Every structure is written in C-alpha cells, then in structure tokens.
Amino acid sequence: MATLQQAIEQTTVTGNKAFIPYIMAGDGGLETLKPTILQLQQMDVTAIEVGIPFTDPVADGPTIEQAGERALAAGVTLRKVFETLASFKEEIHVPLVVMTYFNPVLAYGLEAFAEACVAGGVKGLIVPDVPLEESTILRETLNPYGIDIVQLVSLTSPPERIARIAAASQGFVYAVTVNGITGARTNFAHDLKGHFAHLREVSHIPVLAGFGISTPEQVVSMGALGDGVIVGSAIVTALHEGNLTKVEALVSASKGDLEKSTL
C-alpha cells in the first residue's frame, strides 16, 4: 500500500486535489466502521482519517464532540477500533490515518499502539494535543513501524515555527485554517493565501487544509490554497444522517482542475 505522501502525490499529479474525510470510529456502532471505510474508499478518497472517541476532546467543536459521545456510549475504544480494522485489513486500499488525543495512546502503550497500527493498516497518526515540542517520542516509537506522524500548523504559528513544524511533519502538513476548534464555518479570516504560499515554500511534503471546511465550494477554494483538504464535521454530520449524496458532493468537488477556479 502507498504511504500517505505517495497517495497524496498520486492524486495531485493528475490535477485533482487530495481529499481526506474524517470519520468518528463507531459513531452509529462499531459495526458501521467497515462499511463506512469501504464506501469512502469506493468514492476514491485519497486517505481516510479515523477518529478515536475521547472523553475530553479539547480541539473539537460540538459536531465531532457529540459524535464522540455517541461512540463512547456505544462502547467504542481504541482497542476495539484496532480489532475491527485488522479484521478487514485486506480490503483496505487507501492509507488510514488515526486521529486521537494522546492519553488513549499512552494508556495503550506506545509500542503496542505501533504494532496495532501495523496490524490494522494504519499509515499515519495525528495527535492534536501533541505539538512539535512533545512530538519526538511519537516519531521515535512509530517511525520504525512505517507510521508517519502528521503535525499541525496553525494561523498563530510564526514563520520560523512554521518552517520547523513543516520540517518535522511526515506524510503531509496539516494546515489549520481557522483559530479555533473543528466544525463548520462560513467565514475564514486572515490572509490564508499568504499563509499557504509560505507554508508550501518551506514544506518538502504536501500541504493540506483542514478545520471548518464544510461545503463543496469551500473544498474548491481551500483546496486551491494547497494540495488538498481534510473534511471532518461535514462528513461526520452527513454520515450520521445517512446522506451519502452529500459526502459524494464534497469528495467530487476535489476533482478537476482546481487551479483555474477562482477564490
């Protein structure tokens, strides 16, 4: 299977933008995890971000927090997610990226976590509460297993810091497009164009935009800033409502020659 970076570059080389949907594992019951991943894979997404529910998701807005509460109520744990992924690993052909807060990983044990990632076809890890300063231990433990540690860059990160984060990040750079938590937005402040131009200049790996992207139009406009987008809350809501048409509309907005579209 391709690495994260390869999967993204295989998408962008065709003129399309990378599209990574975020799902909350076990929202609707753990038995939905397999069909959801296979459906998204069918839609030709670039990779899939698998969210692990947590009791205290400080980086998430109400949509993902509530999805997490539903998953917790359904008894979903990191261990059960790994068991489920391992059960249909052969059918998974897109790279999976686990997004989890740090404490469940610590409780699992870093080495055991790395082994479980391999057994479940997981190629990358995003830990929103582990910034650059605390991230060395993740790379040291997980890189030997072929797992990339994706770092986030925020609008508040100064240029010198952005360069250091971009240098440390693996697979892609996750560019947070708002000051705030995950969830739908109508307005994006700040000089996003300048921010992304700088990011792409200093980054040797693809740059993806995430947080707040919730409509096909935003997929187009935000996708044009970098190499693609991550869509979370809008996907979580659509899946919760069983609205696959909406999911498809978001995914297909990433396809086509976006560089020509106007911002």
Partner 1 sequence: MGNSIANSVPSKEGRYGKFGGQYVPETLMTALLGLETAYDEAMKDPLFTDELTYYLQQYVGRETPLYYAENLTKELDGAKIYLKREDLNHTGAHKINNAIGQALLAKRMGKKKIVAETGAGQHGVATATACALLNLECVVFMGAEDIERQQLNVFRMELLGTKVESVETGSKTLKDAVNAALRYWVTNVEDTHYILGSALGPHPFPKIVRDFQRVIGEETRKQILEKEGRLPDAVVACIGGGSNAIGMFHPFVDDETVALYGVEAAGSGIETGKHAAAIAGGQLGVLHGAYMYLLQDENGFVQEAHSISAGLDYPGKGPEHCYLHDIGRAKFQSITDSEALEGLQLLSRTEGILPALESSHAIAYTAKLAKTMSTDDIIVVCLSGRGDKDVHTVRKALGGDR
Provide the minimum distance between the beta carbon of 9 and partner 1 in the complex, in angstroms, as a whole number.
Answer: 24
> Is 31 part of the annotated catalytic residue set?
no
Q: Give me the torsion for CA of 84, 125, 19, 120, rounded to 10°.
A: -20
Distance CA 150, CA 153 (A): 10
Distance CA 4, CA 7 (A): 5
Provide the minimum distance between the beta carbon of 261 and partner 1 in the complex, in angstroms, as a whole number.
Answer: 28
In sequence order, the β-bridge partners of residue 230 are: 20
Strands (E), 109-219: 122-126, 148-150, 152-153, 173-176, 207-210
Judged by CB under 8 A, which of 39, 43, 180, 244 binds partner 1? 180
Catalytic residue among 9, 27, 60, 148: 60
Distance CA 141, CA 110 (A): 7
Question: Contacts with partner 1 in 146-165 (CB under 8 A)?
Answer: 151-158, 161, 165
Written as six digits, the tokens of 65 are: 């927090």
Question: Contacts with partner 1 in 101-130 (CB under 8 A)?
Answer: 101-108, 128-130
> Is 60 part of the annotated catalytic residue set?
yes
Question: Which amino acid is located at 37 in the chain?
Answer: I
Q: Taking CB under 8 A as the rule, does residue 58 contact partner 1? A: yes
Provide the minimum distance between the beta carbon of 193 and partner 1 in the complex, in angstroms, as a whole number.
Answer: 19
Question: Contacts with partner 1 in 62-101 (CB under 8 A)?
Answer: 65, 69, 72, 77-79, 101
Question: Contacts with partner 1 in 186-245 (CB under 8 A)?
Answer: none
Distance CA 176, CA 211 (A): 6
Written as six digits, the tokens of 53 are: 């529910």
Judged by CB under 8 A, which of 34, 39, 86, 131 binds partner 1? 131
Which residues are known catalytic residues? 49, 60
Which spans of this chain sit near partner 1 (rule: CB under 8 A)? 54-59, 61, 65, 69, 72, 77-79, 101-108, 128-134, 151-158, 161, 165, 176, 179-181
